[in-house]
Chains A and B, each alone.
Chain A
Amino acid sequence: MTTTNGSTGLVPALFARASVAGMAAGGAVVFALVLFLATAVLLIKGADPGVPIGPNLAAMSTFLPGYDVSWGGALVGAGFGLLFGALLGTAIAVLWNLTHLIIIGLVVLQATWFD
């Protein structure tokens, strides 16, 4: 049976668990920044006099109460980004860990009972 030199660390890495707090924090920071920058870019670019800035982006206010294309709205958007990013990161980490735990559990059970 051939053995891959230097790859012994690979197996724990393939089945390592994700940090729920880390994924939540990463998702929160990135989503908050994306929503803030998306609004800020439109505000900096501006629009012709009498023309509203970012009417399509402003439609997000349907789902994000208090949001609009203004500097205050950018902060509100960043707040919602923190929340949704953290929830998304948490969900991915929990699902990733759960599916791995189930598979590892099945392998260990099989090895314990049938070895």
Chain B
Amino acid sequence: MVRTYSARQQSVTPEFVSSGIWLNTKLLGLIMGLGLGIGLFVFTHLSILVTDQPGRYLNLLGVFLFGYEATPAGAWAGLVWGFVFGALSGAYVYQVYARTADVAHLIQDDEDGDKIVHQPVLRLSGHALGLALGSLTALQLFIATTWLVMRGTAGESIHAALWSHYLPGYHVSLVGGLLGGLSLFVAVYLFAHLFAAVYNGVVRLQGPGRRQ
């Protein structure tokens, strides 16, 4: 017998909600991990194919990702590192997002009685997305800068220093990493707000009952 499952009509335990949040955390981690890992793998091979000096910029990643270089063998290390960083980043973003956003009210209900499973359309919280992505990127910039300082190559890191064009206060030092992290947080927070506004606008235009 086919039934209509509407989770709204069911009792919800905190354990169930927690399980749902962790399930989404793992799913976003998996998606981001596969995306970044495969992306870095493909991009490395693409660079080898189309550029004269594939390692000119990509080899700089080897400072942070041990074993990585712009070679076919290094691309495999990139696949593994990309998956690890992507998975951790995706999991972090979802955890911060779900704990900050009022996710229960961030749906657009366009219930279709013919469907076996009622699955509404997701809406986004710009504030929560900004906090999640902003804090992630700020933390990553600070850790990367700290690593350059710790290994004693801060003075030689001319490419990292280029971030000062975009991030006020940034330079390759611990204080510069903190100031650059704050600048990056603000920039990413604003872009996340813009992303959420555009996304929610399109969802509103599609409206209840309309197909994607």
Contacts and interface: CB of A to CB of B under 8 A. Distances in A.
Nearest to B20: A14
B12 A11 contact: yes
A83 interface: no
Contacts of B103: 10, 13-14
Contacts of A95: 31, 35
Interface string A1-28: 1111011111111111111111101110
Interface in A18-51: 18-23, 25-27, 29-30, 33-34, 38, 41-42, 45
Interface residues of A, number: 48
Interface stretch (B22-30, B76-84, B170-178): B22-30
Contact of A12 (B8, B51, B162): B8
B136 interface: no
Interface of B: 1-3, 5, 7-14, 16-17, 20-21, 23-24, 27-28, 30-31, 35, 46-47, 50-51, 56-57, 103-107, 109, 116-122, 159, 162, 165-166, 191, 194-196, 198-203, 206, 212
The 3 closest A-B pairs by CB, nearest first: A22-B202, A11-B7, A14-B20
